[in-house]
């Protein structure tokens, strides 16, 4: 096909645009939405090879549509839909997090932490986790950016207390009324406690994994949060993120890294104000 045929195809497309304007616009909007979310999911999960394949396929379809008289816009849309369905099937858990983050983004009025207070908060949390680990006291702490579903917060009790090792250990004391649920931390505050989280429902999980670990896996599958778990049976501390246990047998250094990632990512902009 030569350049003259290409110009003829483009001219024919625009000549028919008036009679098919609504159809073309709807197809274009649908295509943009599919492409955006598929690209966003792949980018979030750092699947750069799949991004290259996805973009190549889109470009190839575009050229095929432009240079062939036998290929219509519906063909391009079908191919993009198939690619998007493939991506969404492979990353269905990650899509939940992307959609939830987009819905809640911009609504946050979470308590901010001054740069000078971060180290003290991190030390308090590590001290509490290690104390509970030594005494085999079960605990589940979720580091949230106000990106949790509202029903999770409503299932517990609003605490809105300053973070301290004594306060954390008091909440998880075995005879305390809120010890069985999860603690939600937002910035410098213990926002809520005694919260019930969705449990991971996978047959591949080890049988020795208790309800706290399943809850940590469940909540990190649907929201971009980090969960810190202390096993009541063994005292082992685990760091859970993105629906997987990122670190088992976490020590003070591991906890400091996880907490620093949580706090400093959000404090960078604030510190400059």
d(CA 113, CA 252): 21
d(CA 42, CA 46): 6
pLDDT in tens, the chain (273 residues): 455 555 565 565 555 545 556 666 776 777 777 777 667 666 665 566 667 776 777 777 666 665 555 555 555 556 666 666 665 555 555 555 555 555 444 444 555 566 668 889 999 999 999 999 999 999 999 999 877 878 888 899 999 999 999 999 999 999 999 999 999 999 889 999 999 998 887 666 666 678 899 999 989 888 889 999 999 999 999 999 988 899 999 999 999 999 998 887 654 434 434
pLDDT, tens digit (0-9, with 9 covering 90-100), for 10-32: 565 555 545 556 666 776 777 77
Q: What are phi and psi of 234, to 5 degrees?
A: -115, -15
Q: What are phi and psi of 182, to 5 degrees?
A: -95, 145
Instruction: Supply the angle between the helices 73-90 and 92-104 in degrees, to the nearest 10.
Output: 100
Q: Which residues pair with 183 in a beta bridge?
A: 141
Strands (E), the chain: 139-143, 157-162, 182-186, 189-195, 226-230, 237-241, 244-247
Q: What are phi and psi of 140, to 5 degrees?
A: -140, 115
Question: Could you give all domains of the chain from N- to C-terminal order, each with its CATH number?
Answer: 3-90 (no CATH), 115-272 (3.40.1700.10)
List Cβ neighbours of 243 (8 Å cut-off, separation of 6 or more).
93, 200, 217, 220, 221
Q: What is the pLDDT of residue 269?
A: 37
Q: Which residues pair with 189 in a beta bridge?
A: 162, 186
Burial class (CB in 10 A: 0-12, 13-18, 19+), 134: exposed
List Cβ neighbours of 91 (8 Å cut-off, separation of 6 or more).
41, 42, 45, 47
d(CA 16, CA 9): 11
Query: What tokens appear for 1 in the block?
Result: 């096909």
pLDDT, tens digit (0-9, with 9 covering 90-100), for 203-258: 666 666 788 999 999 898 888 899 999 999 999 999 999 888 999 999 999 999 99
d(CA 241, CA 245): 6
Reported as type and span, the H/E element at residue 143 is: strand 139-143
Query: What tokens appear for 263 in the block?
Result: 């706090």
Task: Write the DSSP symbol of residue 97.
Answer: H
Query: What tokens appear for 228 in the block?
Result: 């810190």
Q: Helix-strand-coil percent breakdown of the chain, rounded to 5?
A: 55, 15, 30
Q: What is the pLDDT of residue 174?
A: 93
């Amino acid at each position: 096909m030569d350049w003259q045929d290409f110009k003829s195809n483009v001219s024919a497309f625009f000549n028919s645009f008036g009679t098919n304007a609504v159809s073309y616009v709807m197809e274009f909007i649908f295509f943009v939405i599919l492409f955006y979310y598929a690209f966003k999911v792949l980018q979030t999960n750092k699947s750069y090879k799949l991004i290259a394949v996805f973009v190549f396929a889109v470009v190839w379809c575009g050229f095929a549509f432009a240079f062939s008289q036998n290929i219509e816009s519906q063909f391009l849309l079908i191919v993009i839909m198939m690619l998007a369905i493939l991506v969404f099937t492979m990353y269905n858990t990650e899509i939940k997090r992307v959609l939830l983050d987009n819905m809640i983004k911009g609504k946050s009025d979470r308590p901010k932490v001054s740069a000078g207070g971060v180290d003290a908060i991190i030390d308090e949390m590590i001290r509490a986790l290690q104390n509970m680990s030594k005494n085999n006291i079960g605990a589940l702490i979720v580091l949230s950016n106000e990106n949790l579903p509202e029903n999770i917060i409503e299932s517990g009790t609003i605490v809105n207390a300053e973070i301290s090792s004594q306060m954390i250990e008091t909440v998880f004391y075995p005879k305390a009324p809120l010890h069985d649920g999860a603690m939600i931390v937002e910035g410098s505050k213990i926002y809520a406690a005694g919260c019930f989280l969705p449990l991971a429902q996978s047959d591949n999980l080890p049988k020795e994994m208790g309800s706290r670990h399943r809850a940590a896996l469940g909540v990190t599958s649907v929201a971009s949060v980090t969960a810190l778990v202390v096993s009541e049976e063994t005292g082992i501390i685990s760091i859970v993120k993105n629906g997987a246990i990122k670190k088992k047998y976490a020590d003070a250094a591991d906890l400091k890294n996880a907490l620093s990632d949580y706090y400093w990512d959000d404090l960078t902009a604030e510190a400059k104000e």
